[in-house]
Structure 1
Amino acid sequence: MVERFFRDITAERLRRGVFTSVPELIAAIDEYLAHHNTKPKPFIWTRSARDILQKVIRANQRLSSKQNGTLH
């Protein structure tokens, strides 16, 4: 979720901004946070932790097998 938040703030506020000082950058971040927090929405997980971990394990196994296949 942290990565998603940083992706959003980068895409929506920082990437196209021009900041000539650190205080300007801080102000832009503060403005984004204030606007973002006016209508907060909780994130609701749609999968269980076990389902998510199993998917990660399967993906790692596939990546490992592909990497091992290219090494031999």
Structure 2
Amino acid sequence: MTARHPRFHVHFTPTSASWINAVEGLFATLTKRRLKRGVFRSVIELNQAIRAYLAAHNADPKPFRWTAPADTIIGKHQRGKRLLESLH
């Protein structure tokens, strides 16, 4: 793929990666708050609506806050490790 499209780089990440969840959350919020009930007569109008929403969203940025307790994260890690070790 990179030979035909040198600007593109393929990255394989687990679907449970926290940053992927944050991106999915952003798209869910965009859809719910701006796109779901909107009427767009062209792709240009849709593009303008998305850009306007992102500009307003980025004007007052909020940091991503991890809300899971450390014990929960460590427990999931230990269960995953045990599972992987049992497969070998």
TM bucket (normalised to shorter chain) is 0.5 to 0.7
TM-score (normalised: structure 2): 0.55
- Please point out which of 35, 52, 60 is paired with 1:31: 52
Residues 23, 42 of structure 1: alpha-carbon distance in 2 compared, 3 angstrom cutoff = same
Matches within 5 A, 1:4-23: 4-23=25-44
Distance in 1, matches of 2:63 and 2:44, equals 30
- Report the AA paired with residue 76 of structure 2: Q
Structure 2 spans left out of the alignment, 5+ residues? 1-21, 81-88
Matched, 1:54 2:54: no
Distance in 2, matches of 1:53 and 1:32, equals 38
Structure in which a larger fraction of residues adopt helix:
1
Give the total of aligned pairs.
56
Query: Superposition RMSD on alpha carbons, in Å?
Result: 2.5
* Percentage identity across paired residues of the two chains: 50
TM-score (normalised: structure 1): 0.66
Aligned structure 1 segments of 4 or more residues deviating by more than 6 angstroms: none
Distance in 2, matches of 1:38 and 1:11, equals 19
Higher relative contact order (CA 8 A, sep 6+): 1
Structure 1 spans left out of the alignment, 5+ residues? 59-72
